[in-house]
Structure formats: structure tokens, C-alpha cells
Amino acid sequence: MAELESMTPVAAIVCILLGCTSLLLLKRSPNRGWIDHMGGMMLSWIILFMGVSYAATAVREAFEDSSVDLDFFRYTQYSFGLVSIILGASFTFFYPYPIIQKASRIKAVPYFVCVLSLVLIVSMLLMDYKYVGATRIVYIPGFIILISVYFRFLTDEIKYGDETARRLSFAAGLIIIALHGAEMTWWLAQLISINDEFIGRNAIQSGVGDFSRIPTWIGYNVMTTIGAVATLTLAAGETWRAQAKGRSGFTIIIYLILGVGLISGIADYAVLDIVNSCMNTVCNDFPESYDIWYTFTTGALVLLFTPLISMYVLLNFDVIDSGSKENRWLTRIIVILMLLIVSSTMIELLQSFLPVSQMISSAILAMVVAIFIGWEERIMEKLIEQSESISKKLSSLKEIHEPDLDVTELEFFSKAMGSLLVFTVVLCFLYSSIT
Amino acid sequence: MTKDSGDVRDVLTNLYSNSTANRYIAATVLALVVVFSYTGYDTLVYRHDVIQNFSEDNEWLLTFETTSDTTQQTVVLQDEETRDLTFDMTDFSVPDGYRIGYIEAQIVGEETAGVLSGNQCDSIAGDIVRNDLTAQWDDPSNNLSGQDSSCVPIDLRLSVYPEFDGEDITVRSINEFQALMGWTDDGWGKGLLSITLELDTNSNTPFVGVDDDEEITIDINVVMFRASVEAIE
């Protein structure tokens, strides 16, 4: 059986491609509401920063056995990972239900993100990333906002018959999956409290002194707790909705995550002896089937499907003007390209452990290409037809303030993020040269 | 009543305006707190203590319990004769849990052994021959060759287990198993021990007669060890 190849380089390409294209499409969509504009920019930059972080990870993975000095890539990986965490946490204050609506506060966001990012990047750099896990605590308020939006609009839909409310609960649910997808698949392991044993194993494998810092462990526990609670509450909410309104695609996705988490939890429990071998004897390797399971579930969800979910949010909630003639061709290219990259990667991964000849996998890939080309028109039309901005819904509820902001003021956010990107790269380069 | 002033207080009032939804939100927050509490205890208190006990600063004292097995062979060599002797290492009895640490060989001539022959001391040379025996052939503590013509026993030594010298040592590792890991390898000391003897007699002694042979005794002592470990507080 061949060794499973890493998906990180593919994730890097997908994220950088999607991030850049989304920013370009946003630039070409001038008549968007401020929520869509701000939310779109934030989401695009999160994807782009994640892409840069994945690219650095991919370089480290490729050269880990060589004598090449990889410090620059290590700093880049962590620094951009940090920025995307801070942006991800800030994003929930703007989308889908903006908590911050005053012009002065919206204008302050780029400064806030840049300053907080730089403070954290520099301090973590100096502390050699010993406390980097602790930064995940910043997700707590965002999760509470998202789950509040989900339940508020789910209740509006089911109890008060507001059919248009689904868009907001759907958007909130999708963003929860995009931000906490990996941890959502560990829900059972967290509920039966065995994730700490995996944390212990990682601590020993990474060198106990560096890893076993209480703040880092709080950060990891916060994330896994959010993931477990998110899965169960979304599953409860979707069950309620399915009973009242029938099942939807999102209901199926949530049940899929629930099922994956159930199997993963059982698998995690089954390998506890191997997990604890680090403490009792020496760290034994996990069985190959266990690694394959996690590559195709949690790994694929984080590295391949999170960018797809982000793309879906951008298109389905009309964040970018995909309907205009100018944007339509670029949107089509990026949708087909991303779907193809992800499907071909999955086929390649399957081929790496299933006894499928290259001829068969090429034929499957050709079928996928044909399906996407054939359905391209339909996929796009469905996305564009169904797309409706959430700001329209919020405007109809009179829950959105129209701040006195012009496009230039909003686009300052992109300029600030661009500067942050350049500054961070230079900082990482300098620091790696000095140390 | 909804307000679109944009003030955070008004925005939150709008968001939490649905009492049914608020109950679900409160239940979710409560679930967060409950799950975080018990998993937090497991992770931050219990697991942290466990990990600290396994921290890389743990020091362990490795001590070695030794035993040995010996064999003896006596041969008679003629003047200027060279003879190869082999000892199969499987003939030595290694108790369970023990590994071979090193091999000592002592070569003793007839005169050396105190037999009154009246002759001058013969010149005896002995070598441990490098072969496929799994041992530390390049260890600096080895003494693979010896020669004597003054009736003193020749002592040879071959180190078998890497870095074993019988002395207690201090190691750092995260647990007992790993502290002992380097001292439980099987496979050392397998093969044949080959010793070459060479004799050159001194028979120029008046009134005694011609001395043209020598009885040589070879004592092989295989030193075995079993490592045990205890934490240094």
C-alpha cells in the first residue's frame, strides 16, 4: 500500500487561488451592501492567509528530512495561521449578522486586526510559539454570536413561519462548519473526554517542555469543546427543522459530520492503547486504516472542503456579484477549477490505497470532468438564481444600520491586510536570518 | 421592537429578541460550560499532572546486575605452532533477561600456572580474531592481542554490548521503559569466539632437558548483565 500523500500543497493552491479571485471579484462588484463588502473582504483574506500558511507548511513537509534551513517557513506558517485565526474571530462580528454596525467602529477594524495580529505574531515569535494554541480562545465570542444567529433565525423560520429567515441560519451554520469543521468531527471523543489523551501523546511527541503549557491546552480544549457543542446543537436544530420543513442539503451535511464524529470517536477509543503507549512505553504508530480514515474525513474537511464552503458562501449569499457579465466567466472558471482540483485530489488519494489501476482512476477523473462541464451551466445558474444577499433580509427586518461609509473607506481594509501580509513576510524573513 | 441605530446594545437587543431562541442559545452556552468543565479538568489538571511526571527532565539511575559463565580449555602446543580455537557463544548459558556485556579471556601457560618444569618461561601469544561475532570490535576498551614470555597470564577482552562497562549510569528520559530501551537489545554476542594461540618455547635450560611444547589453558569468562532503573528524585 502506497503512503498517503499530503493534501497541504493542494489546499495551499486552492486557498491562494480562491482568495485572490474572490478579492478580484469583490473589486468588480461595486454595488454590494456594506455587510457583503466587508464580509467578502474578510472571508477572502482569511482564505488567502490560510493559503500562505498552508504553502509554508507544504514546503516544510517537502524538505523536513533535508538539511535545508526551514525557519522562515515555520515562522510564516505560524504567523499567517495566527492572522487567519484573528480574522476568523473578527469575521463573526460582521457576517452574517453584523454586531458592529457603526461607521467609526467599522473603520477601526483594519487597525484593530493589524495591531492585534502584529502583537501576537511578534510575541509568539519571541516565545517560539509555545503558547500559540492559546490564541484559539478568541473564537469563543464568535461562536456564541454564530449560534445565536442560527437559533434566532431557525426559530423565526419554524415558529413564526418566516421562510426567508433560513438564509441567515444556513449562513451561520455554514460559517460554523468552515471555522470549526475539524473539531466538529471529534465531538464524541470530546464528550467522552478522551481528547486529553491525544493531547498528552502530542505533548510527549513534541517534547514535553515545549508543549505542555496550560494556556495552549486551554486553547485546544476550547476549540474541541466548541466543535462538540456545535455538532450537537446544529444536529438538534436541523432535526427540529427537518421535522417541520423537511430535510435540506445542510441537514444532510450536519448528519454526515455527526456520523463521521461517531465513527471517529469509536476509532479514537479503540486506539487509546496506542495513544497511551507514548506514556507507558514508546510511541507506537497508529494503524494505517486509522490514518486513512482521518485523511479522508477531518483532513479533507479542513484542507479541501473549507475553501469550497467559503466559495459557496461567497456565491450563494451574493457576496460577490456573480451574475454580472464581467464576473460571470471568472466565477465559472474558479468554480469548475476548484471542484476539479478537489475531486482529482480525492481520486488520487483513493488511488494511493485502493488497488485501482491508473487507467481506471483516469477514467473516473474524465467522468468527473465531463459531469462538471455538462452541469457547469446548471450549477452556476442554480447558485446565481438562488443567491440572495443576507443584507436584504436584515434590511427588511430593520435590524441593519446603514453607516456613512463609501467604498474607498471599506476597501481600506484590503490595503491594510495587503500591508500586513508584506510586513509579516519581511518580519519572518528577518527573524529567520537573525536567529 | 427593533432598532437600526447601529449601536451594539441595540444590535444585541435585536439579536436576542426571540425568547424561544434565547432558551436554545442559553442551553448551548450552558452545554459549552459543562463540557469545558469536565474535559478541562481531564486536560488541564489530570493530564497535565500525568505529562509533568513524564517530563523530559526525569533522571533515572541505571544499575546493572551482573553474572557470568565460564569455560576452560587446555591445549598442548608444540614449539612454533599456531592454533585456532573457537568457542560457540550458544554454549554459554545466558539467564532470562540478561545480555552479554563483554568477554574476557585469560591465557595461562604451564610455567605460569605454577607447574615446576624447571624451564624458562615460554613465549605465548594470543589474539581474539575479528570475525562475525556481533560485538564492539572497535571499542577502545578492547584488548584483542597479548603476548608474554615472563610467565604472566595474558588477559584479553572483547566488549560485546555497546557502551556497557558494568558501571552505573544516569540517563534522562520521559519514562522507565525508554530509560531502559538502550539496554534491552537482543542480538549482541552471537556467533563464534575465535582465539589464535602461538607458542615459541625457550628450551635452553641446562640439566632439564629439551622443552619443545607447552600446555596452555584458556579461561573464557562471559560477563552478562541485566539493567534495572530507578528514578532519581
Tell me which amino acid residue A329 is.
Answer: W
Mutate which: A225, A232, A280, A400, vs B, most B CBs within 10 A: A225
Strand order in the sheet with B192-200: B82-88, B192-200, B123-129, B145-148
| Residues 181-200 in B contacting A (C-alpha not used; CB under 8 Å) | 181
The answer to whether the CB atoms of A195 and B50 lie below 8 A apart is no
Residues near A422 by beta carbon (within 8 Å), at least 6 away in sequence:
none
Q: What is the CA radius of gyration of chain A?
A: 22
User: In this complex, is the C-beta atom of B34 within 8 Å of any C-beta atom belonging to chain A?
Assistant: no
The answer to whether the CB atoms of A279 and B35 lie below 8 A apart is no
pLDDT at A79: 96
| Model confidence band, residue B211 (pLDDT cutoffs 50, 70, 90) | low
User: In this complex, is the C-beta atom of B14 within 8 Å of any C-beta atom belonging to chain A?
Assistant: yes
The answer to whether the CB atoms of A98 and B25 lie below 8 A apart is no
| Residue bearing cell 490514518 | A291
Mean pLDDT of B50-74: 84
pLDDT at B210: 61
Q: Which residues of A touch B47 (CB under 8 A)?
A: 196-197, 199-200, 217
Strand, helix or coil for residue B103:
strand
pLDDT at A285: 87
Which of A145-149, B143-147, B149-153, B202-206 has the lowest average pLDDT?
B202-206
User: In this complex, is the C-beta atom of B35 within 8 Å of any C-beta atom belonging to chain A?
Assistant: yes
pLDDT at A174: 95
Statement: residue B25 has pLDDT above 70: yes
The answer to whether the CB atoms of B39 and A193 lie below 8 A apart is yes
| Residues 85-104 in A contacting B (C-alpha not used; CB under 8 Å) | 97-103
Question: Cis bond leading into A96, ω under 30°?
Answer: yes
| Model confidence band, residue B2 (pLDDT cutoffs 50, 70, 90) | low
ipTM of the complex: 0.89
pLDDT at A2: 47
CA distance A198 to chain B (A): 10
Q: Which residues of A touch B46 (CB under 8 A)?
A: 196
User: In this complex, is the C-beta atom of B33 within 8 Å of any C-beta atom belonging to chain A?
Assistant: no
Tell me which amino acid residue B12 is.
Answer: L
| Residues 126-165 in B contacting A (C-alpha not used; CB under 8 Å) | none
User: In this complex, is the C-beta atom of A207 within 8 Å of any C-beta atom belonging to chain B?
Assistant: yes
pLDDT at A1: 43
Q: Which residues of A touch B35 (CB under 8 A)?
A: 190-191, 225, 228-229
Instruction: Judge residue A312's burial from the number of C-beta atoms within 10 Å of its C-beta, 0-12 exposed, 13-18 middle, 19 or more buried.
Output: middle
The answer to whether the CB atoms of A190 and B39 lie below 8 A apart is yes
CA distance A257 to chain B (A): 18
CA-nearest of B33, B10, B230, B207 to A398 is B10
User: In this complex, is the C-beta atom of B54 within 8 Å of any C-beta atom belonging to chain A?
Assistant: yes
Q: CB atoms < 10 A from the CB of B148, how many?
A: 19
In the predicted model, residues of chain A with pLDDT beneath 50 are: 1-2
Widest pairwise Cα distance in chain A = 64
Q: Which residues of A touch B177 (CB under 8 A)?
A: 280-282
Whether the pTM exceeds 0.80: the reply is no
Instruction: Judge residue A378's burial from the number of C-beta atoms within 10 Å of its C-beta, 0-12 exposed, 13-18 middle, 19 or more buried.
Output: exposed
CA-nearest of A99, A234, A256, A165 to B28 is A234
Residue pair A204/A278 in contact by the 8 Å Cβ criterion: yes
Give me the percent of chain A exceeding a pLDDT of 90: 52
User: In this complex, is the C-beta atom of A205 within 8 Å of any C-beta atom belonging to chain B?
Assistant: no
- Which residue is closest to A208 within chain B, CA to CA? B55
β-pairing verdict for B59-78 and B213-231: antiparallel
pLDDT at A338: 79
pLDDT at B73: 93
Residue pair A94/A177 in contact by the 8 Å Cβ criterion: no
User: In this complex, is the C-beta atom of B26 within 8 Å of any C-beta atom belonging to chain A?
Assistant: no
